[in-house]
Amino acid sequence: MDNLAKLSNSNQSTPLHKAAAKAWLHTGTCEVLIRAGADVTATDKEGKTPLDYVRDPEIQRHWKNLDKQVKQEKSYHELMQQSGGVKVNRFKVFIGGNETTGKSTLKQSLTKGLLSALIQRLSRRSVEAPYNPTPGVDIGTFHVPGVGEVSVWDFAGQAEYAVTHSMFMDAENTVFIVLYNITDNKKTREQQVTWWLCFIKACNPNRQPDVILVASNADQVDPTIGQDRAALVVQTMQTEFKDHLRISDEVIVMDCRRTRTPEMDRLKSLLVRIGAALIQHQRNMPKLCAKIMKHLPKWCKSKTSTNCPVLMWPDFVKEVKELDRFVTEDFLKKSSRFLHHLAEILFITPATSDSIIVLKPNWLGTGVFGRVMAPDYFDNHLNRTSEDFVTREELQRVFQDVADVDLVITLLQEFQLCHTFDDETYIIPGLLKQNMPDKVWKPTTEQKVIYFGKQVQCADKTDMFSSGFFPRVQTCLMRELKYRPSLWRDGAKSADRNVEGLIKLSPDSRAVNICVRSVQGDKVKCGKMLQQLENIVADATVQGQ
381-424 per-position pLDDT tens digit: 999 998 889 999 999 999 998 878 999 999 999 999 999 999 99
Average pLDDT over residues 211-236: 97
Dist CA 514 CA 507 (whole Å): 15
* pLDDT of res. 88: 79
Residue 254's contacts (CB-CB under 8 Å, 6 or more residues apart) are 214, 215, 216, 218, 261, 263, 264, 267
How, if at all, do strands 346-348 and 85-86 pair? unpaired
Is the pLDDT score of 454 beyond 90?
Answer: yes
Tens-digit pLDDT profile for residues 2-37: 554 555 555 678 888 888 887 666 778 888 888 888
Domain CATH number, residue 12: 1.25.40.20
Tens-digit pLDDT profile for residues 297-347: 999 999 998 889 999 999 999 999 999 999 999 999 999 998 998 889 999
476 with 497, same domain: the answer is: yes
Kindly report which listed range (54-58, 63-67, 276-280, 412-416) carries the lowest average pLDDT score: 54-58
Q: How many domains does the chain have?
A: 5
Is the pLDDT score of 545 beyond 90?
Answer: no
413 vs 543 pLDDT, higher one: 413
Domain boundary, last residue among 415, 431, 447: 431
* pLDDT of res. 46: 83
- CB atoms inside a 10 Å sphere around CB 382: 20
142 with 159, same domain: the answer is: yes
Dist CA 173 CA 202 (whole Å): 17
Tens-digit pLDDT profile for residues 326-335: 999 999 999 9
Dist CA 403 CA 425 (whole Å): 20
Is the pLDDT score of 187 beyond 90?
Answer: yes
Domain CATH number, residue 307: 1.10.10
Contact 15, 5 (CB under 8 A): yes
Average pLDDT, the chain: 89
Is the pLDDT score of 1 beyond 60?
Answer: no
* pLDDT of res. 511: 93
123 with 212, same domain: the answer is: yes
Average pLDDT over residues 357-373: 94
427 with 449, same domain: the answer is: no
* pLDDT of res. 24: 65
Average pLDDT over residues 179-207: 94
Question: What residue numbers bound the domain in which 539 lies?
Answer: 438-544
Domain CATH number, residue 101: 3.40.50.300
Helices 287-302 and 57-83 sit at what angle, rounded to 10 degrees? 90
Residue 526's alpha-carbon distances to 49, 247, 437, 479, in angstroms, are 21, 46, 23, 20
185 with 306, same domain: the answer is: no
422 with 506, same domain: the answer is: no
64 with 213, same domain: the answer is: no
Is the pLDDT score of 490 beyond 50?
Answer: yes
203 with 305, same domain: the answer is: no
79 vs 243 pLDDT, higher one: 243
23 vs 133 pLDDT, higher one: 133
Report residue 59 CA to chain centroid gap. 21
194 with 247, same domain: the answer is: yes
Is the pLDDT score of 133 beyond 90?
Answer: no
158 with 257, same domain: the answer is: yes
Is the pLDDT score of 125 beyond 60?
Answer: no
Domain boundary, last residue among 342, 359, 376: 359
Which among 1, 313, 2, 378 is positioned nearest to 161, based on CA atoms?
378
345 with 424, same domain: the answer is: no
Is the pLDDT score of 124 beyond 50?
Answer: no
Domain CATH number, residue 519: 3.30.310.50
- CB atoms inside a 10 Å sphere around CB 119: 10
* pLDDT of res. 4: 47
Domain boundary, last residue among 45, 64, 85: 85
Biggest alpha carbon–alpha carbon distance for the chain: 83
Residue 494's contacts (CB-CB under 8 Å, 6 or more residues apart) are 477, 481, 483, 485, 486, 500, 501, 502, 529, 533
291 with 402, same domain: the answer is: no
pLDDT category, 515, cuts 50, 70, 90?
Answer: very high
